[in-house]
Amino acid sequence: MLLRMQPDATPSQTACVRAHLEAIGYETVALGYLGAGVFAALPAEETAEAMPEGAPWAALQRACPEAEAVARLEAEGNFALGQRARRPGGTRVRVGGTEIGGDAVVVVAGPCSVESREQVLATALAVREAGAQMLRGGAYKPRTSTYDFQGLGRTGLKLLAEAGARAGLPVVTEVMSAEDAELVAEHADLLQVGARNMQNFPLLKRLGRLGRPVLLKRAPSATLTEWLAAAEYMLARGNDQVVLCERGIRGFDGYTRNTLDVAAVAAVKELSHLPVLADPSHGTGRRSLVGAGARAAIAAGADGVCLEVHVRPEESVSDREQALGPGELARIVAELGAVSSAVGRRLG
């Protein structure tokens, strides 16, 4: 439930409404990014009784008769806070010195996995040289096979942060569980929720409370509503620094690893005020197709792309088939510059 206090409501009236909601099993969160007096009332995680839809407002009116005079119920829906109408001009997400969602289109590049100090540092310097604004690299890897390399974990986080600092680039890396959120946040500027964890609700709740920028990838079979509803978990907990990322959905043709849903990029830009990136590396799974996917996504309105790049692509420990070399990245960045100008934007 979303509530907006009347402009003349006093702080004690606001406190009264919130206290009553808390007494009936709700957590209340002030949504500072929407200005004063707007808050979300979210069902607490442990509660004595099940609360049917609509019941909390009725219970609040019973417990606090003045509620109706001082607070207004806002329309809900799965993505009430994420909808475009809330911020027609769009949200800008600040990551280190870079902004996502402004006029400039951003290029996030780096290895699928952090493999060694030498590999991540050499790749970081190469992607900066090729024109990227942000460094990516996985330390906690969600692998299809349990027998495959699972990432360097804490060591990987440290190496990534060190490489980012050396190259002067902010870093993005995946966080797979709620317990790891603080640790990953100590080392990364942008916290990635991978496709497989798009609906890991305990993780989304933790990241909502943490308030650090999040990159939320779309699950391979998620509808747009499910994807935006997942983002809403963070928006409703006070964190509006959320970037969406289309990374390909499950298709029927195995030639491409996934089907990069370019229309979804345009659709979520229309539906939501959140910035949107595209990941044509996982979206196509083929080195030769990554550039085409990236150009298409920028033409469709994406605010940037995430590209997997390895200083020696043929040696990549994970996702070798889609890894670009530094030279290929430089060529793609040049093409993206042209596409960005064609759609009235600029690169970087």
Among 115, 174, 319, 328, binds Mn ion (CB under 5 A): 319
Binding of Mn ion at residue 279 (CB under 5 A)?
A: no
Residue 127, interface with ligand PEP (CB under 6 A)? no
Q: How many CB atoms lie within 10 A of CB 9?
A: 19
Give how far Cα 142 sits from Cα of 150, 173, 179, 316, Å.
Answer: 7, 12, 15, 16
Using CA of residue 252, residue 255, residue 260, residue 263, what is the dihedral sign?
A: negative
**Structure tokens that stand for 168 in this block:** 């002067």
CB of residue 311 vs ligand PEP: minimum separation in angstroms? 17
| Binding of residue 224 to Mn ion (CB under 5 A) | no
Residue of minimal Cβ distance to Mn ion: 112
User: Which pair of structure tokens corresponds to residue 292?
Assistant: 């085409």
Is the Cβ of residue 3 or residue 222 nearer to ligand PEP in the bound state?
A: 222
The only residue of 32, 54, 142, 202 in contact with ligand PEP, by rule CB under 6 A = 142
Report the residue number, 140 or 233, with the smaller CB distance to ligand PEP: 140
257 counts as binding ligand PEP under rule CB under 6 A: no
d(CA 341, CA 97): 22
Which listed range, 62-70, 194-202, 266-274, 291-299, lies at the site for ligand PEP (CB under 6 A)?
Answer: 194-202
Residue 138 binds to ligand PEP (criterion: CB under 6 A): yes
- SS3 (DSSP) at 39: strand
Report the residue number, 81 or 274, with the smaller CB distance to ligand PEP.
274
Question: Per CB under 6 A, which region of 49-57, 90-98, 192-200, 292-300 contacts ligand PEP?
Answer: 192-200
C-beta of 232 vs 319, nearer to Mn ion: 319
Three-state SS for 38? strand
**Nearer to Mn ion by C-beta: 112 or 190?**
112
Structure tokens at 289: 């197709």
* Residue 282 within binding range of ligand PEP, rule CB under 6 A: yes
Q: Which of residues 98-157 bind Mn ion (CB under 5 A)?
A: 112
Task: Choose among 71, 76, 85, 75: nearest CA to 7.
Answer: 71
Query: Whole-angstrom Cα distance, residue 216 to residue 226?
Result: 12
For residue 105, how many other CB atoms are within 10 A of its CB?
26
Q: Please pick, from the candidates 71, 163, 195, 311, the single residue that binds ligand PEP as defined by CB under 6 A.
A: 195
- Is the Cα dihedral 8, 10, 11, 14 positive or negative? negative
Whole-angstrom CA distances from 187 to 165, 195, 314 are: 11, 21, 28
Give the residue with the Cβ less far from Mn ion, 246 or 319: 319
- Which residues of this chain interact with Mn ion, rule CB under 5 A? 112, 319
- Which residues of this chain interact with ligand PEP, rule CB under 6 A? 112, 138, 142, 174, 194-196, 217, 247, 279, 282
